[in-house]
Amino acid sequence: MADKAKKLGTDAYKGVRDFFPEEMAVEKSIFDIWRTTSEKFGYEEYNASVLEPAELYKAKSGEEIVNEQTYTFTDRGDREVTLRPEMTPTAARMVAARKRELTFPLRWYSIPNLFRYEQPQRGRVREHWQLNVDIFGVDSINAEIEVINVAYDITRAYGLKDNAFEIRLNNRKVMNYVTGEVFGMDEVMAQKVAKIIDKKDKMKPDAFEIGIREIFGISAIMDNAQREALEKQADKLLTLLNSKNFEEFVSRLPQTKEEHVGLKEIREVIKGLERLGITNVRFDQTLMRGFDYYTGIVFEVYDMNPINRRSVFGGGRYDDLLALFGNDKVTAVGFGAGDVIARDLMETYGTLPANRPPAEIAICIVGEQNAPYALDVAQSLRVKGTKVAVDLTSKKLGDQISNADKRGISKVIVIGDEETKTGKLKCKQLKTGEVTDIDNAS
Amino acid sequence: MADKAKKLGTDAYKGVRDFFPEEMAVEKSIFDIWRTTSEKFGYEEYNASVLEPAELYKAKSGEEIVNEQTYTFTDRGDREVTLRPEMTPTAARMVAARKRELTFPLRWYSIPNLFRYEQPQRGRVREHWQLNVDIFGVDSINAEIEVINVAYDITRAYGLKDNAFEIRLNNRKVMNYVTGEVFGMDEVMAQKVAKIIDKKDKMKPDAFEIGIREIFGISAIMDNAQREALEKQADKLLTLLNSKNFEEFVSRLPQTKEEHVGLKEIREVIKGLERLGITNVRFDQTLMRGFDYYTGIVFEVYDMNPINRRSVFGGGRYDDLLALFGNDKVTAVGFGAGDVIARDLMETYGTLPANRPPAEIAICIVGEQNAPYALDVAQSLRVKGTKVAVDLTSKKLGDQISNADKRGISKVIVIGDEETKTGKLKCKQLKTGEVTDIDNAS
């Protein structure tokens, strides 16, 4: 059977990860934080298959993204099927499917694996695991406050203190107001502005300014008056985008009798979070968040570590997504948090749990003839709830004990002829040498 | 955005399941049995991606199965990739990859999702979740005894009493001895015999007999002497396969000075399990188990329910699989148990847990102005470890309370102007009406 001439490779598929027990233990501790925190807020876990009809992603993302950045293939029944690249469309599909039977509001969370077809690099894998937290059916800003509270608690559970991270807030309603009403842009131009703002962090200040001027159509060959008018507009936008804080931003907007609803919402969220003791919150007029289904508040958790400032995770309100399924409106707020950055942060902050030993007691066997009795003893300890691993190697006793020690198992019971005969066992603590008697005579 | 003319479908992809929270709760209770039981024996959890290089399955299964029964596609890097149809090849690949660093024996378990391309029908879905339990590096029959012990404990945890199921045992070594040495068949003929035996349960007795005679090449046009000799052989095999129990089977084999090792192993496993109090074990000479990588003991858990007798799950020893990766021999014993039949059994035996409410306390809000304080109270209860869901609907109080009741939440705290002002709260048990005072003044 072993055709060594054509031996199989042992590598995982490109860009995905194997989780050996020690790596799986890390994943489990991350999932544990996600589950415990979400459930404290009354969120319930759901799941779905990693396979979804491809059309689910085409509606919002356009064909291009589906083809270039997702795993999409045709099955033998000629169905186009995609390995889900994000969970929100699945959640929306499920809610739409049972909208009549479900009792709203829904608090849902899930820990799916997601696939993206991209070049693997540090922090960017083709498959990652992600917590998704969503609340459906709450119109008020309290949904945002609660969901950001969950995000905050998770970040704290990773080990970050308040001064190590920031919660950044923006509102799509404000951006729409600015581009549409304040600057009178059409949708195409507004889109271009949104896209370049989304990239601002990764651009040099000069390049950003030039980009904005280009979008306004400023060119060297236009007449001076026209040029000056456009430059004035561009400068006004650049000044607005460079506002240092919320109040400065607001002061640079046209003053109206009543404040715009998008601005009011930002105030309310900041105030609501403050009330909960969450004060590391900052308005960020340049925060866009990629997905174009957001309709209101968007936010992200931002790592302030000076050597690696970066977005940790984020989300926002998406009130119109369910309408794609022909349903009445179902409002929604949610976020997603990935496992790769969670692990990275927990390593940085030393919050990864110590390796848990595979068992509490190791049973060592001296003499193959005593194996049946050893299995018997193990089973009666398990019935009492103890995790017991029996050494089935037939190695020398010393090797068996050092193997238990190496695996972090703290207690050992040795079973030889005497123990099998009498049922009188000794359980030894490897660290202290302390011995406890156990009577297993039956 | 809502293009109702071209609205999206809400169905999951064909043959896969959505797990809404109530269905997910069932899955979680199954996974919980699997995890708890495996860990009691010292098994450690691992995982890998659902995507594997297609070559992993070609080596043992042949191109045909890879193409017809798996999801295999070509990625944009021209790699052939398969959605894993079983976990054992992945486990073997991972063990082979780190053979030098790992300390044997390894006790590993995993709960992967597996894909098979087949027509969906009751109990046969295209994606299912499966527990995989494997021990690597134990040559002795104690590995089989332990692994069957795990399988037994899991079946008991599903709610089946000993008389509701049977553990059926066979040994590939015995089958090889019978076909090769006792009957002198070549490999092709032995394969044919194995295949028809595997299907025996689903065939009428007549059809099975005719099939065996066909394999022996018995035909109406051969001369009498030749035909008689072959019929004698076929009858001998049929008689052997119809043995009522192990001793009858052994008595029909050629008597040798020392019993064949495969028979000895069966005796040892039965004795070892008996010693652990597991007595619903039966030798079954017709038990084959599909996968052709098995090399020794094979077993299955068989549901004896008269209205639905069926194999529940099974496994066996596969000592040669790792050699495919060019490694030295690593012996292995393992089994897989699926979620669909687990759920079915737990429904039958009434062992599915009652629906767990999403929270312990519901906080109801009277007057939108009290929402901030309500969120505050919720958060201080969560810090103490209580699961709290805040009603953010702004509905009438009666509706909020009946909604909590409907979700199974047993306690309610109502927050109105008075509570916000004084911080004196009352927590009411919905069933008994009992009220407890809580002081949340800060």
3-state secondary structure (DSSP) of residue A282:
strand
pLDDT band at B122 (very low <50, low <70, confident <90, very high): low
Of A248, A254, A341, A242, which Cα lies nearest the Cα of A33?
A341
- Tell me the nearest-neighbour CA distance from A205 into chain B, angstroms: 34
Burial class (CB in 10 A: 0-12, 13-18, 19+), A189: middle
For B393, the closest of A4, A105, A326 (CB atoms) is: A105
* Averaged pLDDT for residues A56-61: 74
Partners of residue B390 in chain A, C-beta under 8 Å: 42, 142, 146
3-state secondary structure (DSSP) of residue A365:
strand
pLDDT of the residue at B251:
96
Partners of residue A272 in chain B, C-beta under 8 Å: 372, 375
Q: Which residue of B has its CA nearest to A362?
A: B42
pLDDT of the residue at A162:
97
Query: In this complex, do A146 and B390 lie within 8 Å of one another by their Cβ atoms?
Result: yes
Query: In this complex, do B7 and A325 lie within 8 Å of one another by their Cβ atoms?
Result: yes
Q: How far apart are the first and last CA of chain B?
A: 46
- Tell me the nearest-neighbour CA distance from A257 into chain B, angstroms: 23
pLDDT higher than 90, residue A220? no
Query: In this complex, do A8 and B93 lie within 8 Å of one another by their Cβ atoms?
Result: yes
* Averaged pLDDT for residues A276-281: 97
pLDDT higher than 50, residue B1? no
* Averaged pLDDT for residues B369-388: 95
* Averaged pLDDT for residues B155-172: 97
B28-67 pLDDT, tens digit per residue, is 999 999 999 999 999 999 999 999 999 998 866 555 555 6
Of A322, A342, A387, A341, which Cα lies nearest the Cα of A360?
A387
B387-435 pLDDT, tens digit per residue, is 999 999 999 999 999 999 999 999 999 999 999 999 999 999 999 999 9
Partners of residue B85 in chain A, C-beta under 8 Å: none
Q: Which residue of B has its CA nearest to A389?
A: B42
Burial class (CB in 10 A: 0-12, 13-18, 19+), B74: exposed
pLDDT higher than 50, residue B137? yes
User: What is the C-alpha separation between B358 and B360, in angstroms, rounded?
Assistant: 7
Query: In this complex, do B24 and A47 lie within 8 Å of one another by their Cβ atoms?
Result: yes
Residue A382 CA: distances (Å) to CA of A38, A362, B38, B280, B327: 32, 12, 11, 20, 35
* Averaged pLDDT for residues A152-159: 97
Query: In this complex, do A358 and B43 lie within 8 Å of one another by their Cβ atoms?
Result: yes
- Tell me the nearest-neighbour CA distance from B348 into chain A, angstroms: 24
Query: In this complex, do B18 and A49 lie within 8 Å of one another by their Cβ atoms?
Result: yes
Q: Which residue of B has its CA nearest to A16?
A: B49
* Averaged pLDDT for residues B108-126: 84
pLDDT band at A20 (very low <50, low <70, confident <90, very high): very high
User: What is the C-alpha separation between B48 and B88, in angstroms, rounded?
Assistant: 11
Mean pLDDT lowest for which of A272-276, A321-325, B148-152? Answer: A321-325
Query: In this complex, do B10 and A325 lie within 8 Å of one another by their Cβ atoms?
Result: yes
What ipTM, to 2 d.p.? 0.93
pLDDT higher than 70, residue A147? yes
pLDDT band at B293 (very low <50, low <70, confident <90, very high): confident
Tokens of A24: 């799986």
Partners of residue A73 in chain B, C-beta under 8 Å: 73
Query: In this complex, do A407 and B28 lie within 8 Å of one another by their Cβ atoms?
Result: no
* Averaged pLDDT for residues A94-123: 89
For B97, the closest of A10, A272, A276 (CB atoms) is: A10
User: What is the C-alpha separation between B211 and A74, in angstroms, rounded?
Assistant: 39
* Averaged pLDDT for residues A262-287: 96
Go through the domains of chain B in sequence order and give each one's CATH number: 16-132 (3.30.930.10), 162-296 (3.30.930.10), 361-439 (3.40.50.800)
The residue among B3, B31, B40, B148 with the most chain A CBs within 10 A of its CB, best to mutate, is B40
pLDDT higher than 60, residue B123? no
Burial class (CB in 10 A: 0-12, 13-18, 19+), B189: middle
For B7, the closest of A27, A326, A359 (CB atoms) is: A326
A425-442 pLDDT, tens digit per residue, is 999 999 999 999 987 765
Partners of residue B19 in chain A, C-beta under 8 Å: 46-48
Partners of residue A4 in chain B, C-beta under 8 Å: 323, 326
Query: In this complex, do B20 and A98 lie within 8 Å of one another by their Cβ atoms?
Result: yes
Residue of B222 and A147 predicted with greater confidence? A147
Query: In this complex, do B382 and A40 lie within 8 Å of one another by their Cβ atoms?
Result: yes
A337-363 pLDDT, tens digit per residue, is 999 999 999 999 999 988 889 999 999
pLDDT higher than 80, residue B272? yes
The residue among A51, A278, A339 with the most chain B CBs within 10 A of its CB, best to mutate, is A51
pLDDT higher than 70, residue B160? yes
Of A339, A336, A332, which Cα lies nearest the Cα of A107?
A332
pLDDT higher than 80, residue B321? yes
pLDDT of the residue at B214:
93
Chain-wide mean pLDDT for chain A?
92
Classify the C-alpha dihedral A161-A162-A163-A166 as positive or negative.
positive
* Averaged pLDDT for residues B79-103: 94
- Tell me the nearest-neighbour CA distance from A310 into chain B, angstroms: 27
Mean pLDDT lowest for which of A117-121, A220-224, B302-306? Answer: A117-121
pLDDT higher than 70, residue B291? no
- Tell me the nearest-neighbour CA distance from A388 into chain B, angstroms: 5
Percent of chain B with pLDDT over 90: 81
pLDDT higher than 80, residue A62? no
pLDDT higher than 70, residue A232? yes
Which residues, other chains included, contact A38 with Cβ-Cβ below 8 Å and sequence gap of 6+? A45, A109, A131, A133, A150
* Averaged pLDDT for residues A305-315: 91
A126-135 pLDDT, tens digit per residue, is 999 999 999 9
Percent of chain B with pLDDT over 70: 95
Classify the C-alpha dihedral B364-B369-B375-B380 as positive or negative.
negative
Partners of residue B127 in chain A, C-beta under 8 Å: 49-51
pLDDT of the residue at B2:
42
Query: In this complex, do A4 and B326 lie within 8 Å of one another by their Cβ atoms?
Result: yes
User: What is the C-alpha separation between A197 and A191, in angstroms, rounded?
Assistant: 10
Query: In this complex, do A407 and B103 lie within 8 Å of one another by their Cβ atoms?
Result: yes
User: What is the C-alpha separation between B69 and B126, in angstroms, rounded?
Assistant: 10
pLDDT band at A66 (very low <50, low <70, confident <90, very high): low
B182-218 pLDDT, tens digit per residue, is 999 999 999 999 999 988 888 998 999 999 999 999 8
- Tell me the nearest-neighbour CA distance from A380 into chain B, angstroms: 9
Percent of chain A with pLDDT over 70: 95
| pTM score, whole prediction | 0.93
Which residues, other chains included, contact B301 with Cβ-Cβ below 8 Å and sequence gap of 6+? B151, B152, B155, B165, B166, B167, B168, B311, B312, B313, B314, B337
Neighbours of B6 (CB within 10 A): 9
Partners of residue B53 in chain A, C-beta under 8 Å: 9, 11, 13
The residue among B47, B140, B399 with the most chain A CBs within 10 A of its CB, best to mutate, is B47
Query: In this complex, do A387 and B42 lie within 8 Å of one another by their Cβ atoms?
Result: yes
pLDDT of the residue at A293:
87
How many CB pairs (< 8 A) connect A and B? Answer: 288
